[in-house]
Structure 1
Amino acid sequence: MKIGVYPGTFDPITNGHVDLIARSLRLFDKVYVAIAANPQKHPVLTLEERVEMVRVAAKELSHVEIEPFHGLLVDFVRKHGAHAVIRGLRAVS
C-alpha cells in the first residue's frame, strides 16, 4: 500500500488544499492529512477547529485520514509508514 502524508497548518483549509488531496489519491492508496500543532505559529483557528474544518472539507474523499500532530514531521511519517510527503506550490508574485 502506497501512503502519502500532506502536512500543513490548514488555517484555514482552502479549495487548493482539497484539490491537492484529491489529486494525491491518484498516486497513493491512502493519504494522511497531518495538521500541525506548531507552538511557534499563532493560528487564527484552534487545532480542534482546523481538524473539524478539514474533516468537513474532505468528507467526500475516501482513503483520507485526518490527524493532528505535534513534534517532527519525520516522526509522523515513520509512524504511519508513509512513502512520500506531499507538498503544494504557492503562487508567488
Structure 2
Amino acid sequence: MNKDMLLKEIANRIEGATKSDINVVLDTFEDVIFDTLKADSSEKVKFGKLGAFSVKAVPAKDGISAINGKPWHTDAHNEIKFTMSKTNKNI
C-alpha cells in the first residue's frame, strides 16, 4: 500500500474527510515525530497499539567492498527506528 492508497482508505472510513485533509494530518504526524526525536534522542513516541518510534545510535563503520575491493567508511549517526508492540506483532 502506498501513501495515496492509504489516504483514500482513511478518507473513506472518516465521514466528511477528504484525501487532502488526511494528507495534512499524516504530514504533520511525520513532522511531529521527527522534530520530537531530533530535539531529544532519548524520547520515545508511542503510537497507540502499533508500537513506538525511537532513536538508534549507529556507530562508525569501516570495511572493504565485496564487489570492487575498495575500502569504505560510514560515520556514526542516529537513525529513527520503529518497534512493533508485542500484542500486534503477530497478525
TM-score class normalised by the smaller sequence: under 0.3
Greater per-residue strand proportion: 2
Structure of greater Rg? 2
TM-score, reference length from structure 1:
0.26
TM-score, reference length from structure 2:
0.27
